[in-house]
């Protein structure tokens, strides 16, 4: 099967990327280059704070996942009933297990609703203009 030809519209983006980014806001946010270009667009509009807020919340969530995973690994290694390096602190182990279970679904959770609203605002107010701009560039470069 022949490789799909990727038309380069400048040194950084392809027609395929433009199609992905304009078809899905989540795909745009998942792409480093797409986010960079969207940030440039928001900077020009004076609205970069929305994306900056969303990105910082994402980094916080990633940090939480790392901490949660490490806490679970410590529990499994040292406190589980059949832990390979069992530390005998049964009452405290049960308390730790309960705390891990309670925190499992919570995450940091502090900014979840605000992050969701910021993302929704970007998608509704700023993303359509960005897509139009990309499509104009795509047409102009053909």
- Digit-coded pLDDT (tens) for 88-135: 787 787 788 777 777 655 556 678 899 999 999 999 999 999 999 999
Is residue 60 within 8 A of residue 111, CB to CB? The reply is yes
Q: What is the C-alpha to C-alpha distance for residues 59 and 141, in angstroms, rounded to an integer? A: 35
How far is residue 114's CA from residue 87's CA, in Å, rounded to a whole number? 41
CA–CA dist 122, 93 (Å, integer): 44
User: Domain locations in the chain?
Assistant: 15-141
Q: Structure tokens of 61?
A: 């969530």
* pTM, 2 dp: 0.74
Residue range 15-141 in CATH 3.40.1000: no
Tell me the CA distances in angstroms from 117 to 14, 34, 114, 130, one per residue in order.
30, 20, 5, 19
Q: What is the largest CA-CA distance in the chain?
A: 70
Residue with tokens 């104009």: 136
Cα–Cα nearest to 20, from 31, 10, 11: 31
| Alpha carbon separation from 48 to 20, 38, 43, 45 (Å, rounded) | 22, 9, 5, 8
| pLDDT tens sequence across 21-64 | 999 999 999 999 999 999 999 999 999 999 999 999 999 888 88
């Amino acid at each position: 099967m022949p490789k799909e030809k990727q038309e380069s519209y400048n040194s950084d983006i392809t027609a395929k990327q433009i199609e992905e980014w304009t078809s899905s806001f989540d795909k745009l946010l998942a792409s480093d280059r797409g986010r960079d270009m969207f940030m440039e667009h928001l900077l020009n509009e004076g609205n970069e704070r929305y994306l900056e807020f969303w990105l910082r919340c994402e980094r916080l969530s990633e940090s939480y996942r790392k901490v949660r995973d490490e806490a679970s690994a410590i529990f499994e290694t040292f406190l589980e009933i059949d832990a390979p390096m069992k530390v005998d602190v049964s009452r405290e182990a049960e308390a730790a297990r309960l705390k891990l279970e309670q925190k499992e679904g919570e995450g940091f959770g502090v900014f979840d609703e605000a992050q969701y609203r910021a993302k929704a605002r970007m998608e509704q107010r700023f993303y359509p203009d960005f897509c139009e701009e990309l499509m104009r560039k795509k047409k102009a470069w053909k």
